[in-house]
Amino acid sequence: MDDSNYIEPPAVLPEIEEATRRLEFDMGSDYQTGVLLRTLAASKPGGRFLELGTGTGLATAWILDGMDQDSRLITVDIDPACLEVAKRHLGKDGRVDFRQGDGADEMNALQGSRFDLIFADAWAGKFWDFRKAVDLLNKGGIYVIDDLLPAPPWPPDHAPKVDALLERVQSHPALTSFRLSWSTGLVVAVKG
């Protein structure tokens, strides 16, 4: 089945994609991941969302597209050039709070906060500080990670890291999860 005919991207996405190409940033989320994030965001009216790894704002645009007016998103990235692209195209939306810095530091600063959806698109919250990310989830909160299928830029030692992460997710007593061998390889987990 070709699902590309049924994907309506956020209106701002072509502009972000062009800026992303000019920046030569090649780690942005694809449309399939975006559609999933938009749908999950829409399932949490008035929700609080956290994105670890803004990049140029490709996934951010999809999350915002699914959010209602009462929802809020915090998104963090360590790369100021990438974050500037996201801010330039999405910064007028008052529902989003852009933060520049390390995702692990941001999770430390957010301890005690709770989120309805966390998209871990950076090493922090995915390969590092996984338990901190899970602790930040509300009961019923959704945890999404991507980039889990082998890809050409993977270094030889990366596959064991992915396997260890998948084991941590599957064995975590508070999470119910499933894997998708779709898009770039995703895991979706819900905190019980």
Q: What is the pLDDT of residues 34-80, one digit of tens each?
A: 999 999 999 999 999 999 999 999 999 999 999 999 999 999 999 99
Residue-level pLDDT at 2: 60
Residue-level pLDDT at 156: 84
Paired tokens of 63: 């999350």
Identify the bridge partners of residue 72 per DSSP, sorted by sequence position: 48
**What phi and psi, each to the nearest 5 degrees, are found at residue 98?**
-85, 130
Residue-level pLDDT at 6: 73
Q: Which residue ranges form the domains of the chain, and what is each CATH number?
A: 10-191 (3.40.50.150)
Whole-prediction pTM value?
Answer: 0.95
Residue-level pLDDT at 5: 64
CA distance 64 to 80: 20
Residue 4's pLDDT band (cuts 50, 70, 90): low
